[in-house]
Amino acid sequence: MMAPKRLLGGVALLSGLLLSSCNLSFHDLFHASSSSYSKGENPGTVANRITVKEFGDLSGINPTPSTGKVKILVLPIEIKGYELDSSEKKSILSDLEVLFNGSASSTGWESVHSFYESSSYGKLDFEATVAPWFSSGKTISDIERMCSLPGQTAEGCAYVMRDAVEQYRRSSDDDLSSFDSDEDGYLDAVWMVYSAPIDTSETASSLQWAFTYWDLESLPSDEPVGCTFGWASYEFMYEGYGREKVDAHTFVHETGHFLGLSDYYDTTYETAPVGGMDMMDANIIDHCAYSKFLLGWVEPYLVQNEETVVVSPLVSSGECIIVPTSDGFNGSAFDEYLMIEFYVPEGLNRQDSISPYPGNDVQGPNRPAVRVYHVDSRLILATITSSDGSGYMNYIDALPKSLEANQIVARCNSNDQNGSLDPNVPDQREITLLTPERMSISMADNYFAASYDLLFRQGDKLDMERAYSQFPRKNTSNDGSGFDFSLKVENIALDGSSAAISFARS
């Protein structure tokens, strides 16, 4: 949700640990050489060297598995001062069952299950168990006071989760091992849906909102414990379509954080890198190709020669294209490249493109078009070398097997303006929507919702001089090399079945 009270999801917690640990003053920054594929080889035939799950596990945030059968434990939480009568509780339990497990036709849009089954092309099968109500015995203020970290009021929610999980374990006589599909000692996913209302007033608690957080204090034991969890008011179920049909938009977005995805909007609200047009931005439409690549759901085609590539719609086919920098491509989503996809207002995109989503009045593109993104998702290994917090960082193409006590692995960027970790790359963003030559607008420098007009239509071009003007360095790619190919949308089929994109050497 694009709103002022969102607590950071995705890698925001990791970034906070990195930036607050010692006021690090890195030096000796350099970029390690990337390996390349053989000429003509498609990256889909090469194992993804770094998955978002592996990165998250090493970083300590325990992402939810993105493939296979994954069980979600849904814990309805009664907040003191916001008690509900038995009839209302029963009704909410019934709606939660539909919200998480229902079919698309039984909801106002999609359920968490139906969205992710479709978005992953059948690779991810969420199944939620809705527990009985847990009475926390605590007010919102009580939960806030439970935190020990300055500014991290959500820490108190982790304590509530521990109690609620243990009550369900005892009352159900279930050791919860079936909720730990990867057998790492942690429950794959926990959702807490609380009885207090949404409150966006200036004096409201930040806990009366929706966010994802991690219990980093609990350690695996003989029976799995909670770590990754979501926290949202039951009112988010009715945000878009009233009480007639449940609304899963917010829950789908936050579940994206469970899987390891970050927010794609600028949390300072000064720019809009992807213009709201993504599930991890304004909570609308399907996940983009970059997100799906991170999660292991797509196998992009790698451009290495002058050629014309015909792609079907991403939403139905999973087809997408990567243009690497001239420094090469390391075979994973964690690199710098252009990501290209063919968007159509069908499938998971359809409802939010026909009309604005009522929860925030943001609308997806209502006509077929090509979307081109600049991605810089390279990883850094930061090493602290002295007691004053100084040290150095290197770009890495492979994860270390383990970390020393003075080391941190993180993404090289932040989607906040001026959030760069690399002093050579100002405003280094994870993902930015690029605009064609006919437009003079750069999404990296403006704050507004994007539209069909800003996407690539038939005949639109992107030469690298125009592309670089939208990049932080203005004359090269972020890694200092460049891109070898310009592109042109040669044709978009009238029936929206395909787009032909040509690539020529710059």
Three-state secondary structure of 125-136: EEEEEECCCEEC
Write the DSSP symbol of residue 8. P
Q: How confident is the model at residue 414 (pLDDT cuts 50, 70, 90)?
A: low
Higher pLDDT, 6 or 95: 95
Please report how many Cα atoms fall inside a 13 Å half-sphere around the Cα of residue 402, on the Cβ side: 2
pLDDT, residue 417, reads: 52
The torsion angles phi and psi of 26, rounded to 5 degrees, stand at -75, 145
Is 3 a residue whose pLDDT tops 60?
no
Question: Which range has highest mean pLDDT (28-37, 259-268, 492-501)?
Answer: 492-501
pLDDT, residue 418, reads: 54
Contact call for residues 378 and 411 (beta carbons, < 8 A) = yes
Q: How confident is the model at residue 31 (pLDDT cuts 50, 70, 90)?
A: very low
Q: How, if at all, do strands 485-492 and 499-505 pair?
A: antiparallel
pLDDT, residue 48, reads: 57
Task: Give the integer Cα–Cα distance in Å for 255 and 112.
Answer: 8
- pTM assigned to the model: 0.91
Higher pLDDT, 252 or 268: 252
Q: How confident is the model at residue 7 (pLDDT cuts 50, 70, 90)?
A: very low
Site of tokens 């690549």: 293
As a whole-number percent, the residues of the chain with pLDDT over 70 amount to 89
pLDDT, residue 61, reads: 84
pLDDT, residue 415, reads: 57
Q: How confident is the model at residue 17 (pLDDT cuts 50, 70, 90)?
A: very low
Q: How confident is the model at residue 24 (pLDDT cuts 50, 70, 90)?
A: very low
418: alpha, beta or left, given left = phi > 0 and alpha = psi -120 to 50? left
Closest CA to 234 of 72, 64, 82, 73: 82
Taking residues 382-411, what's their average pLDDT?
A: 89
Closest CA to 169 of 184, 180, 153, 182: 180
Distances (CA, A) of 343 to 281, 292, 314, 438: 16, 14, 6, 19
Is 491 a residue whose pLDDT tops 70?
yes
pLDDT, residue 267, reads: 80
Which range is least confidently modeled, 38-47, 51-60, 219-228, 479-488? 38-47
Please report how many Cα atoms fall inside a 13 Å half-sphere around the Cα of residue 27, on the Cβ side: 5
Taking residues 261-275, what's their average pLDDT?
A: 88
Please report how many Cα atoms fall inside a 13 Å half-sphere around the Cα of residue 479, on the Cβ side: 29
Contact call for residues 124 and 115 (beta carbons, < 8 A) = no
Round the average pLDDT of the chain to a whole number and report it.
88
Contact call for residues 379 and 396 (beta carbons, < 8 A) = yes
Task: Give the integer Cα–Cα distance in Å for 470 and 442.
Answer: 6
Taking residues 310-320, what's their average pLDDT?
A: 97
E strand or H helix at 97: helix 86-101
List, for residues 116-159, the tens digit of each pLDDT value.
999 999 999 999 999 999 999 999 999 999 987 777 788 999 99
pLDDT, residue 46, reads: 40
Contact call for residues 160 and 136 (beta carbons, < 8 A) = yes
pLDDT, residue 16, reads: 35
List, for residues 338-358, the tens digit of each pLDDT value.
999 999 999 999 999 999 999
Is 416 a residue whose pLDDT tops 80?
no
Taking residues 314-333, what's their average pLDDT?
A: 95
Q: How, if at all, do strands 26-30 and 391-396 pair?
A: parallel
E strand or H helix at 210: none
Amino acid at 10: G
Taking residues 454-462, what's their average pLDDT?
A: 97
Taking residues 391-399, what's their average pLDDT?
A: 90
Is 419 a residue whose pLDDT tops 70?
no
As a whole-number percent, the residues of the chain with pLDDT over 90 amount to 72
